[in-house]
Amino acid sequence: MSKSNKIVLRIQSADGTKRVETEQTVTTKALYELAKAACGLDNFDFALYRERNYTKEIVSSGSQDVKDIGLKHGDIVYLRLVEGPSTSKATERSASVNSLASSHSSSLSNASFSREATPSTSSKPSAAATEQAIVEDSVDLELYKQDGRIKRDRDEKLCRHNSNGCCVHCSPLEPWDENYLKEQKIKHFSFHSYLKKLTSGAARGKFVALEDLNCKIKSGCRDHPPWPKGICSKCQPSAITLNRQPYRHVDNVMFENTGIVERFLNYWRTSGHQRIGFLFGKYEIHPDVPLGIRARVAAIYEPPQESNRDSIRLLDDPHDADVDELARMLGLQRVGWIFTDLLSENLANGTVKHVRNIKTHFLTAQECILAGHLQNKYPNRCKDSSNGYFGSKFVTVCVTGDEKKQVHMEGYAVSAQCMALVRDNCLIPTKDAPELGYIRESSDKQYVPDVYYKVSDICLVFVLWV
C-alpha cells in the first residue's frame, strides 16, 4: 500500500471497535471482507452503515470504491448483524449478501400465520408512511370528524342572558369532563375523548405520541456485551408502575338478538360444561358515551375445544382462516371473545352460583393473560401511533351468575400495561390463587423490569369494565 492512499477505518459493532487498514481505491466489497475478518465473523450476515442510527447503508459492490462513498482516514463504520430480509437494493449487493437475504426471505415465507400478527414495537416508520399504510376502522374515521362537546340547555336560575347567549353555566362541556362522566355513571371516558384531551391546549397535541410500553431490552447496544453479561441505562427497560387506565377503546357490547346468546348457552345447559366462542360483528358509534364506540355482535363462532365443568382447552382450528374470510365477505370482523363460568345451584329454579364479585375476583389471572394475548393479536389501528397500532378494541365477555343468581354477562378489556406484560412474557398466573398474577424474575435468558403497584388499586389496573 502506498502511504498516500493508506487510511485507517474503525469498525464499531456490538462487541466493540476494531481498526482496519485499507486504501481509498479498494471496493466496498473488499471493505465487507475486511470487516468480516476483523470482527471474526463466519459469514456475511451483517451490513455496514455510515451513521450511528444505522442509516446510509454501505452497499457491497465490486465497482464502487471507498472514496466514492466519502470515507476518509479515521472515519467510523457501524456494523449491524442482519436479522431479517435486507431492505437495500438486491441488485447492488454482492453474491454472498444476496444469498443471505434470499435465505432469510425463504425462511420467513415458510412460516404460516393464520391472521395478521401484532406489529413489532421496535420498528418505527415515519409518520407519513404510517398514515398512508394504516387504514383505520370506519367508526374511527367518523369520530375524528366530531368535536364530542356535550351540549347543555340554558339554566333558568343561573343564566342571566337571553336565549341566544352563552355563559359558563350553559356552555358545552368537553367530552372528558369528569363531573359529567361521574353524573352519568361512566367509569372510563372513550378513547377518542382521550385523543381530544391530548390534542387540546395551545400546543394542539404537537408533542404527543402514543407509544406502547416496552418490557424488553433494546437490542444493538454497542457499549457492552449482550444480556446477561451486560446492561446499561440506554438499553434497559424502565421500571413499570401499574396505574389505572382512564380511557377504554370500546364502551359497550351489544348483541343483535337474544338468539345468538341462547344458542351459545345451549351447550352448557345440555352438558354442564363451559364454552368459549369468538364474537363477530361491527364497531359503531355509541350514543350514550361522548365519542364512544360500541361493539355490535352479529354471530358467535365456537372453535374446536375440549371442556369440562371447571376448564376449557382450545384445540387447533383448521378452518380459522376460512371463518375470517367468510366474515370479511359478510362485512364482519372479530370484535371479541366470550366464555362461560356457570355453576348450577338449583336446577328446578334455574339459578346459578354467584362466584365472581369484589370479594373474590371478576377475571382470573389466566383469563387476563388470554385477553391480553388476544388483544395483542388484534390491535387497534391508530394513525397517531409511531408504528400504526395502539391498544385494542377486542373485548372480553364473561357469562356468569349475578347477585340475584341469574345468568348475567359482563364485558371487560385489559389495559395497555397488561397487554405489554403479556406480549413480552412477563406476566404468568399463580397456581393456588386464580385471582393473582405473578411477574417473572429476571434470568439469564430474559430480563424483566421491576413492576410496582398499590394493593388498593391493583384490581383496577388490568381490567376495564365495558
Q: Tell me the pLDDT tens digit for each residue of 54-108.
A: 888 887 777 778 888 888 888 888 888 875 333 333 333 333 333 333 333 333 2
**Predicted local confidence at residue 367, as pLDDT:** 93
In the predicted structure, residue 461 carries a pLDDT above the cut 60 = no
Show the cell assigned to 247. 380511557
CA neighbor of 387 nearest in space, from 238, 210, 236: 210
Q: Which residues pair with 11 in a beta bridge?
A: 18, 77
Strand 240-241 to 451-452 pairing: parallel
Interior angle at CA 96, CA 90 and CA 101, nearest 5: 50
Name the residue type at position 365.
A
Query: Looking at the predicted structure, is the pLDDT value of residue 190 above 50?
Result: yes
From 178-192, 320-334, 407-421, the region with the lowest mean pLDDT: 178-192
CATH topology of domain 6-81: Ubiquitin-like (UB roll) (3.10.20)
**Per-residue pLDDT band at 463 (split at 50, 70, 90):** low
pLDDT value at 119 more than 50: no
Residue range(s) of every CATH 3.40.140.10 domain in the chain: 240-465
Comparing C-alpha atoms, which of 277, 283, 281 is closest to residue 261?
A: 277
pLDDT at 244: 87
pLDDT at res. 86: 34
User: What cell numbers appear for 117 in the block?
Assistant: 400478527
Average pLDDT of the segment spanning 160-183:
82
pTM above 0.85, yes or no: no
Distance in angstroms (rounded) separating the CA atoms of residues 274 and 263: 14
pLDDT tens-digit readout, 226-251: 888 888 888 889 888 888 888 999 99
Greater pLDDT, 460 or 307: 307
**Mean pLDDT calculated for residue range 23-31:** 84
pLDDT above 60 for 123: no
Could you tell me which CATH class the domain 240-465 is placed in? Answer: alpha beta
Q: Which pLDDT band, with edges at 50, 70 and 90, does 15 fall under?
A: confident
**pLDDT at residue 204, rounded to an integer:** 64
For the chain, residues classed under CATH 3.10.20.90 are: 6-81
Q: What is the mean pLDDT of residues 348-359?
A: 88
Question: How far apart, in Å, are the Cα atoms of 277 and each of 103, 163, 249?
Answer: 39, 53, 21
Overall average pLDDT of the 354-359 stretch = 89
Whether the per-residue pLDDT at 410 is higher than 70: the answer is yes
Residues 6+ apart with CB under 8 A from 414: 368, 371, 372, 375, 396, 422, 462, 463, 464
Average pLDDT, integer, range 118-139: 56
**pLDDT of 455:** 60
pLDDT value of position 23? 86
CA distance from start to end of the chain? 73
Decide if pLDDT at 36 tops 60: yes
Is the confidence at residue 118, as pLDDT, over 60?
A: no
Helical pair 365-377 and 416-423, crossing angle rounded to 10 deg: 90
pLDDT at 84: 39
Confirm if 341 and 355 have CB atoms less than 8 A apart. Answer: yes
Given a cut of 60, whether residue 132 has pLDDT beyond it is no
**What's the pLDDT score for residue 466?**
59
pLDDT at 6 over 50: yes
Strand-pairing partners, residue 344, are 352
For the segment 374-385, the average pLDDT, to the nearest whole number, is 91
Residue 383, pLDDT above cutoff 60: yes
Report angle CA 308, 314, 317 to the nearest 5 degrees. Answer: 135
